[in-house]
Structure 1
């Protein structure tokens, strides 16, 4: 024998109630079916009562909708005329009784708890008759006859012993299908209608299953089972196939509204498994809840949360070492019907924080201030402090007690995401770690924890990409090409949530389709730096990285804000790292303090691992003594192209056309780009330097940089003859030009130098870069790094590599 319970949504529509019929009639063994009121009817019964007691005649219209709802359902699902007419008579009789009660409430303008309990009972009484008529051969039973309560502590509580006896007596002979209205009960002394509270139909089913030693209790609802988290917040949440009774109870108590928490205890005592199934998807396996789960290795099973939390802190020096303070706190609250779901106490005993629901907060503060009025008056204790606008999160799993470091990982993960924990609590059983945060971080917390504890199918990295030019465009395409491969091979999802061009931007928390981003940008509104800042920080998304593929000083100025909001920054933009030294250090310190990353490998050498190598050397205890480098792929390309057939002006044009130079090649020709790169390398090597400290020996007259870019192109050919004369001399001497950057124990300079065929820089081809690092370990034979140092594709690849290094942390 099994017990099946169907909730309001399972009897809320024609489609669902017919699905219920198929499920029940497909059972092979004897079945007891417990049903809730039609979806939404309980709330409608209560709201209509409220209107009636206020003397609002519109309650009649609301009652009319209740009548119509039930008759419409009967007309839709009961096709046999005889059964239809008989059921309609029963339904009308019940509705007439209900109408009379409403009329009485309206006349005397009084709605006692007893009357309200009677009113809401009609929801299950009506729905159960409909379902009993619909299912072939079903026999209806009145739960008021065997579910009994007694009044204690201001509430109607189940009389378990009497109820179990009556259930066993009632069902000493069980028909193939027995139909019971859930939720409803009666007082054992007076016989007055009572109920088992919200979610009481689950409880009814559990009570019956336990009393009759059922094979299984099935809870049929509108979800596939318990989820690892709320799927409305975390789209990647999935169904948990198995839970222990303890894990299910913890999840239910902390907001997972799959089943009513008291449901678990009666069947748990009898070791009867609970199956949670979906009426709308009966083929889905659902979740099974039982005592022991074999082969279970996951440290946590799920994450649940409660919004609308208020934290009340009881504090005072008189609490230290005084016996009975906590007893007074909880007794006072219990006497006033206030439930506490979280307690956190300092070991010094001078403060206790309790979590209550927002709606109980005002009363709780009043009760506690009254309880400790004398202590507050004398200054031995302080008035109660209440902090609202909070949320409580719980991570649940019985295996946490066998896994060291779960709490450390939890709080470390939250800290790196910039989320402060206001209070926390963990029981000695280590099944549940609960903590309180600001409610504005609830979504972010749930996502980052779900991702961190491998409850998500993929680890997610959320990217904001600023700049859609040659580098940014290549990066977006590289990400698009790699997305599926990374998901398959590394279980990594690169989720691009923002793309910004020079004047427009598009943002989407769920991710932007990268093959359509250009069209989306075209359709978006005009954007500005302030808008970008507000959108990126306002999204408050977890595991996020801002990727700057621009050369904008304004965008670089946003890095500090992003890092302060625990958003990592990957920059191809050289402005920030070469800006004044104090700003550079502040960015790096902020990233370290906030536990995020500020990476700018492509600032020097495009995709070459120059900065990373310097950092690795220093981190291993080595010291950088000298740096000699050709750092401008543009200038190297220009001087390699220069020949008797190709004049200087033409080489500059080719560098621009082939994407090696900056949009304005004067930045490269002026040496500014190399100066910035040298400053960055020198700083990464551990020396304090500013751009003005670099000695500059340039090869282009200053007047070439005056005026517009168009004027520059017009004047440029005037330099060709001079360069050709000097080139011939170099050729005769077996030398080549290289624009060299040097650092020697912190002193820096850049200059155009002639190198002979024995120098490592002589054979440098195309736009390649080369760096020689002389260190305390590499003194006699400097370390050499050489390769492509310019080009949008390799720069984008270097940016991509920085992104991946964050993903792999």
Structure 2
């Protein structure tokens, strides 16, 4: 015998009921023996509750709600049944509806809907659906009859969630099925107490009905048909990449149901477990899919973690004080006091110091629980040996569940690493010795983020999603987007990284798409769907989405955007940026940002601040970390100035070369930032600070190579006019250097604590003499590299190399988050 159960969503519409008929005909024609349990039509139970509440409040609107309820079932009959079957069913339904109407009128008159009355009212949903579907099955050629479960499932009189008399129920089930060999179509959810009073088994009780019938008949299998493909690894509403668990044990299923896995009603599992009846969770809308098998057989080769679940709203109460230490019976008194008050405890944790005991409850009973506990320990609190109960609200419990966890070391480590890398703080931790469940209490705002981070870590460890928020989509930003698009498939296949740009902005508009912006059409989407840009709102939205593995990219030269770095890092979000302002401004701010990043366990990366895509900062850090001593740093660290002076030859004017560099995107929008040495100054400050020197801008000596008229020009356009007038001056400098066999180079130097920037003429023996294009060159003279200094050389400007440097940092951060 198989026991099948179909939930409310499966029978919500006539076309869905036809699909069920097809499924059952498949079983029937194969000669299989089965019985089937039905819930009320989808939404009907809620409608019955609503109309009862209206009636109890004296609101005549309950009549309209009742009329809609009645009409819905009449419409279903009209659509599903032909004349002869319709003629049988409609009169019975009308008699049933008349009883319900009178019942609701009684509730309206007395202005009360007791639990006893509500059980009777709610029974009409299941009774209607099962009666209609029994006749639809008969019409389709299946020998079926309607069974009101009140005839066979017997309970006490605890209305609302009655307790089953198992011995009597199983006896009734066996007796009924022995006398009725055809397919029994059973009402889920409802039962009866001694004397015939209608009771219910609690919301989700139709599953329980199926399990009770299966246990009474010693069935071979229970099939719970719902609207999802079985039990999923996590809540798909919060974790988009959740997938079906092929098999799990009863114990694992119980843990998942405790944490709110909606496809399993917790009491269902007990009768199945006692009789060792396997249970399938299957999808009515995808009947060929295998679904999830729940049995007593563990899969030793399966995932260590079977599922990740959560309870979204909890409050954590803590009882603490020296009076707890070494005192027998404290825990007994605590939990007995809560039990006497009817308060259910979700989670318990106590450290070995015995200084405190924490326990989680539903927020609605938190104050009641505190009052009850403080009454119990009133004497100890008056003696100041136990502190008043502390309540922490707005929390969630996230749990990883799986029987195989006990056999694999490092599971807890991976859990806390995933949470830590995403800036999620564990408020409390609970784990039993069976290692079936590791529960962590966290802030409720981090629940979805935690679920996704853990799901990725335990189930998708070969693929990690990176969520990027990018401000600045000009030359560098748009090039970076193109690189991400072109390299996306490779990264996913070979490196296990899926890079999604979730938010982007230019100076005018910003766009957010949680599933990732289409990189083929991002420009049009930003223009057509973007909202007005505001950096504060952009950062706020990034924090509000609170996605796992979030990385902030700043491709601007904006001091305003850089001003948000502290807030971003404090939100446990890593940063990659070519924007030099944050780390080249005040030394105290530089130290502060580095300290926050270290404290929050996130990455603050700015390799492209010096040398674009060249490994300058990382090389310097490697030297320092390995114990080398930096004696001197020399560098042509401006790609724009390198390009200008490398191409400033006889027959060309200096102003033309500067204009060309600007048009190629090598210079800042105002080339004076480069020519005044300000850009080089920032880079030298950054390098000095990486060595540990507290260098400030005023500590750098800069030789200003621009004439006064160029420096004081009001606009970039007038600057170029003044620069053209100064061409003879620069030509003289070039010619004098050439006459001596030398080349002009803008060189930054750091020697000891002395930092200088100036235009020098270097001869052919100097490393900088043979630079070409926009190449940068940095020469490190150290204790280890004293005789032959270490040289880093390569393109130091341009959107492509800078974007590539940022891209490399994104990958580095992604690997760190693994």
TM-score of the aligned structures, taking structure 2 as reference length:
0.94
Native 8 Å contact 2:551 2:575 kept in 1: yes
1:721 aligns with 2:728: yes
**Per-residue deviation at 1:176?**
5.1
CA separation of 1:377 and 1:581: change in aligned 2, threshold 3 A: closer
**Per-residue deviation at 1:606?**
0.9
**How far apart in 1 are the matches of 2:41 and 2:663?**
71
Could you say which residue in structure 1 is the equivalent of 2:212? 207
Could you say which residue in structure 1 is the equivalent of 2:21? 21
2:652 match: secondary structure: coil
5+ long unaligned stretches in structure 1: none
**Per-residue deviation at 1:720?**
2.1
**How far apart in 2 are the matches of 1:792 and 1:293?**
55
Aligned length: 807
Render the CA deviation track for 1:737-759: whole Å, top value 9, x for unaligned.
11111122232212222222222
1:500 aligns with 2:502: no
**Per-residue deviation at 1:362?**
3.9
Render the CA deviation track for 1:55-81: whole Å, top value 9, x for unaligned.
3333222222221121111111112x1
Could you say which residue in structure 1 is the equivalent of 2:55? 52
CA separation of 1:380 and 1:590: change in aligned 2, threshold 3 A: closer
Native 8 Å contact 1:30 1:175 kept in 2: no
Could you say which residue in structure 1 is the equivalent of 2:254? 249
Could you say which residue in structure 2 is the equivalent of 1:107? 109
Native 8 Å contact 1:149 1:157 kept in 2: yes
Could you say which residue in structure 2 is the equivalent of 1:31? 34
CA separation of 1:49 and 1:541: change in aligned 2, threshold 3 A: same
Q: Pairwise mapping of residues 198-277 of structure 1 onto structure 2 (< 5 A)?
A: 198-277=203-282
1:65 aligns with 2:71: no
CA separation of 1:743 and 1:378: change in aligned 2, threshold 3 A: closer
Could you say which residue in structure 2 is the equivalent of 1:674? 680
Q: Pairwise mapping of residues 603-618 of structure 1 onto structure 2 (< 5 A)?
A: 603-618=609-624
1:301 aligns with 2:306: yes
**Per-residue deviation at 1:793?**
0.8
CA separation of 1:773 and 1:19: change in aligned 2, threshold 3 A: same
Could you say which residue in structure 1 is the equivalent of 2:577? 571
Q: Pairwise mapping of residues 322-361 of structure 1 onto structure 2 (< 5 A)?
A: 322-361=327-366
- Which shows bigger deviation, 574-583 or 409-418? 409-418
**Aligned pair partner of 2:562 in 556, 559, 565:** 556
Render the CA deviation track for 1:482-535: whole Å, top value 9, x for unaligned.
223322333322111111112221222222222322223323333233333323
**Per-residue deviation at 1:409?**
2.6
Render the CA deviation track for 1:750-789: whole Å, top value 9, x for unaligned.
2222222222221111111111112222222111111111
Could you say which residue in structure 1 is the equivalent of 2:4? 4
1:161 aligns with 2:167: yes
**How far apart in 1 are the matches of 2:218 and 2:659?**
88
Render the CA deviation track for 1:90-148: whole Å, top value 9, x for unaligned.
22222222233323333344433322222222221121111111113112223222212
**Per-residue deviation at 1:35?**
0.8
Native 8 Å contact 2:201 2:208 kept in 1: yes
**Aligned pair partner of 2:757 in 750, 754, 759:** 750
- Which shows bigger deviation, 31-40 or 511-520? 511-520
1:77 aligns with 2:80: yes
Could you say which residue in structure 2 is the equivalent of 1:629? 635
**How far apart in 1 are the matches of 2:762 and 2:509?**
47
CA separation of 1:748 and 1:326: change in aligned 2, threshold 3 A: same
CA separation of 1:726 and 1:267: change in aligned 2, threshold 3 A: same
**Aligned pair partner of 1:711 in 697, 706, 718:** 718
**Per-residue deviation at 1:347?**
2.8
Q: Pairwise mapping of residues 472-621 of structure 1 onto structure 2 (< 5 A)?
A: 472-523=477-528, 524-621=530-627
Native 8 Å contact 1:8 1:39 kept in 2: yes
Render the CA deviation track for 1:591-636: whole Å, top value 9, x for unaligned.
1110001101111111111111111222222222221211111112
**Aligned pair partner of 1:771 in 774, 778, 785:** 778
**Per-residue deviation at 1:206?**
1.0
Could you say which residue in structure 1 is the equivalent of 2:810? 803
Could you say which residue in structure 2 is the equivalent of 1:122? 124
Native 8 Å contact 2:226 2:281 kept in 1: yes
**Aligned pair partner of 2:183 in 177, 180, 183:** 177
CA separation of 1:177 and 1:623: change in aligned 2, threshold 3 A: farther
1:663 aligns with 2:669: yes
- Which shows bigger deviation, 464-473 or 60-69? 60-69
Render the CA deviation track for 1:549-607: whole Å, top value 9, x for unaligned.
11111111111111111111111011112111111111111111100011011111111
1:778 match: secondary structure: coil
CA separation of 1:783 and 1:173: change in aligned 2, threshold 3 A: farther
1:394 match: secondary structure: strand
Native 8 Å contact 1:30 1:174 kept in 2: no
- Which shows bigger deviation, 779-788 or 342-351? 342-351
- Which shows bigger deviation, 370-379 or 494-503? 370-379
**Aligned pair partner of 1:689 in 686, 695, 714:** 695
CA separation of 1:598 and 1:97: change in aligned 2, threshold 3 A: same
**How far apart in 2 are the matches of 1:54 and 1:560?**
54
**How far apart in 2 are the matches of 1:373 and 1:747?**
68
- Which shows bigger deviation, 582-591 or 304-313? 304-313
**Per-residue deviation at 1:403?**
2.2
Render the CA deviation track for 1:696-738: whole Å, top value 9, x for unaligned.
2343334421122222111112332233333333323322111
**How far apart in 1 are the matches of 2:152 and 2:325?**
51
**How far apart in 2 are the matches of 1:294 and 1:315?**
42
Q: Pairwise mapping of residues 390-405 of structure 1 onto structure 2 (< 5 A)?
A: 390-405=395-410
**Per-residue deviation at 1:151?**
5.3
TM-score of the aligned structures, taking structure 1 as reference length:
0.95
Could you say which residue in structure 1 is the equivalent of 2:150? 144
Render the CA deviation track for 1:6-31: whole Å, top value 9, x for unaligned.
11111111122111111111113111
Q: Pairwise mapping of residues 363-378 of structure 1 onto structure 2 (< 5 A)?
A: 363-377=368-382
Native 8 Å contact 1:308 1:357 kept in 2: yes
Could you say which residue in structure 1 is the equivalent of 2:476? 471
**How far apart in 1 are the matches of 2:526 and 2:61?**
51
**Per-residue deviation at 1:378?**
5.1
**How far apart in 1 are the matches of 2:518 and 2:158?**
59
1:427 aligns with 2:432: yes
1:354 match: secondary structure: strand
CA separation of 1:110 and 1:661: change in aligned 2, threshold 3 A: closer
Could you say which residue in structure 1 is the equivalent of 2:467? 462
5+ long unaligned stretches in structure 2: none
Native 8 Å contact 1:236 1:456 kept in 2: no
Native 8 Å contact 2:160 2:201 kept in 1: no
**Per-residue deviation at 1:542?**
2.2
**Per-residue deviation at 1:152?**
7.8
**Per-residue deviation at 1:83?**
1.1
**How far apart in 1 are the matches of 2:175 and 2:34?**
17
**How far apart in 2 are the matches of 1:594 and 1:17?**
54
Could you say which residue in structure 1 is the equivalent of 2:645? 639
- Which shows bigger deviation, 282-291 or 407-416? 407-416
